[in-house]
Structure 1
Amino acid sequence: MPRLPRLTGAATAALALGLVTAAPATGDEPLVTDARIVAHFDLAGGQTPENIALDRDGSADLTFAFARQVAHVTPDGSTRIRATLPAVTDRATPLVQSPVVTGIARADDGTLYVNYATGTSETGIWRLAPDGGAPQQIAALPADGLPNGLALDERRGMLYAADSVHGTVWRVPRTGGTATAWATGAELAPLPAPTGSGYGANGIKVRRDAVWVSNTDRATLLRIPVGPDGAAGPVETRAEGLNGIDDFAFPGHGRSVLAALNSGSKVVLVRADGTFSDLLTARDGLSNPTSVAVRGRTVYVPSSASSTRRDPNLHLAHLRHLIGRG
Structure 2
Amino acid sequence: MYRLPRLAVTATAALALALLASAPTSAGEPTVTDPRIVAHFDFAAGQTPENIALSPDGSANVTFAFARQVARIDKKGGTRILATLPAVTNPNTPVIGVAAAMGITRAHDGTLYVAYATGTSENGVWRIGPDGAPPVQIAELPADGFPNALALDEECGTLYVADSVRGTVWSVPQDGGTPTAWATGTALQPVAPPAGFGVGANGLKFHNGAVWVSNTDRQTLLRIPVRADKSAGPIETRATGLMWIDDFGFTGKGDTVLAALFLDNDIALVRPDGTHEIVLTEQAGLSNPTSVAVRDKTVYVTSASFFEPVKDPNLLLATLDKGKGGAQG
- Tell me the TM-score normalized by structure 1: 0.92
1:153-204 per-position Cα deviation (integer Å, ceiling 9, x unaligned):
0111000000000000000000000000000000000012221111100000
Read off the aligned partner of 2:65 and give its amino acid letter. A
Q: CA deviation at 1:23?
A: 6.2
Report the counterpart of residue 320 of structure 1 in structure 2: 321
Q: Distance in 1 between matches of 2:60 and 2:120?
A: 29
SS in structure 2 of the partner of residue 290 of structure 1 = strand
CA distance in 2, matches of 1:25, 1:299: 17
Q: Deviations over 1:213-236 (max 9, x none)?
A: 000000000000111101101100
In the TM superposition, what whole-angstrom CA distance separates every residue of 1:8-29 from its partner, at most 9, and x where no partner exists? Answer: xxxxxxxxxxxx94563467x9
Residues of 2 paired with 1:214 and 1:187: CA distance?
10
Q: Which residue of 1 aligns with 2:284?
A: 284
Q: Deviations over 1:264-285 (max 9, x none)?
A: 1010100000000111110000
**8 Å contact from structure 2 (residues 4, 197) kept in 1:** no
- How far did 1:32 drift? 1.8
Equivalent-residue separation in structure 2 for 1:324 and 1:281 (angstroms): 25
5+ residue gaps, structure 1: 7-19
Q: Does 1:64 align with 2:64?
A: yes
Q: 2-side partners of 1:262 and 1:55: how far apart?
A: 24
Identity of aligned residues (%): 63
Find the aligned partners of 1:186 and 1:88 in 2 and give their Cα distance. 32
Q: Offset of 1:90 from its aligned partner?
A: 1.7
- Conserved 8 A contact 1:22-1:32: no
CA gap of 1:251–1:298, structure 2 versus 1, over 3 A, is: same
Partner in structure 1 of residue 46 of structure 2: 46
**How far 1:106 sits from its partner (Å)?**
0.3
Structure 1 or 2: more helix by fraction = 2
Cα offset for 1:307? 0.6
CA distance in 1, matches of 2:214, 2:115: 17
If the length of structure 2 is used for normalisation, what is the TM-score? 0.91
Letter in 2 for 1:320: D
Structure 1 vs Structure 2 CA RMSD: 1.8
Distance in 1 between residues matched to 2:228 and 2:238, nearest whole Å: 22
| Alpha-carbon offset, residue 258 of structure 1 | 0.5
Instruction: Return the structure number with greater relative CO, CA threshold 8 A, min gap 6.
Output: 1
Between 1:304-313 and 1:164-173, the stretch displaced more is: 304-313
1:289, distance to aligned residue in structure 2 (A): 0.1
**Does the aligned pair in 2 maintain the 1:2–1:102 contact within 8 Å?**
no
Distance in structure 2 (CA, Å) of the matches to 1:287 and 1:141: 30
Q: 1:321, CA displacement in angstroms?
A: 2.4
Written as runs of structure 1 = structure 2, the 5 A alignment for 1:157-172 is 157-172=157-172
